């Protein structure tokens, strides 16, 4: 059972945020979109809790800076993976479109070209 947000330290909130970001990176690789979006929602909720605390001193501490670096690394990995998947989807779409436009030509006209 989790403790109420008021009783949690800003450090534990940031650690949870870091954990959720790390988990996002795992599920984007697995392409488990239901879990990915569920984790995104949880992370958004965690961000609101962090913002509501209004205490930015932890983010400036050495431990906070280390967590921020870990978060940024995971976010870069997630963004890179999503860009790669987007590029692959675009290539696949171009291939499908190429075949679709080729199949629009009546088969009889292809046969008559040689005569």
Give the per-residue pLDDT at 2: 52
Give the per-residue pLDDT at 1: 43
Give the per-residue pLDDT at 73: 96
Q: What is the pTM of this model?
A: 0.73
Q: pLDDT under 70 in the chain at which residues?
A: 1-7, 101-115
Give the per-residue pLDDT at 54: 82
Give the per-residue pLDDT at 111: 57
Give the per-residue pLDDT at 109: 57
Element (H, E) at 13: helix 10-30
Counting Cα atoms < 13 Å in the Cβ hemisphere of 7 gives 3
Give the per-residue pLDDT at 110: 56
CB atoms within 10 A of CB 77: 16
Counting Cα atoms < 13 Å in the Cβ hemisphere of 104 gives 6
Give the per-residue pLDDT at 8: 72
**Owner of token pair 């949690």:** 8
Give the per-residue pLDDT at 25: 94
């Amino acid at each position: 059972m989790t403790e109420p947000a008021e009783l949690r330290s800003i450090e534990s909130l940031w650690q949870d945020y870091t954990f959720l970001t790390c988990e996002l990176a795992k599920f984007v690789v697995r392409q488990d979109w239901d879990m990915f979006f569920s984790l995104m929602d949880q992370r958004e909720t965690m961000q609101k809790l962090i913002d509501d605390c209004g205490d930015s001193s932890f983010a400036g501490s050495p431990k906070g800076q280390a967590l921020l670096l870990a978060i940024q690394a995971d976010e870069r990995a997630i963004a890179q993976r999503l860009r790669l998947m987007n590029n692959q989807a675009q290539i696949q779409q171009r291939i499908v479109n190429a075949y679709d436009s080729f199949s629009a030509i009546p088969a009889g006209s292809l046969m008559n070209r040689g005569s």
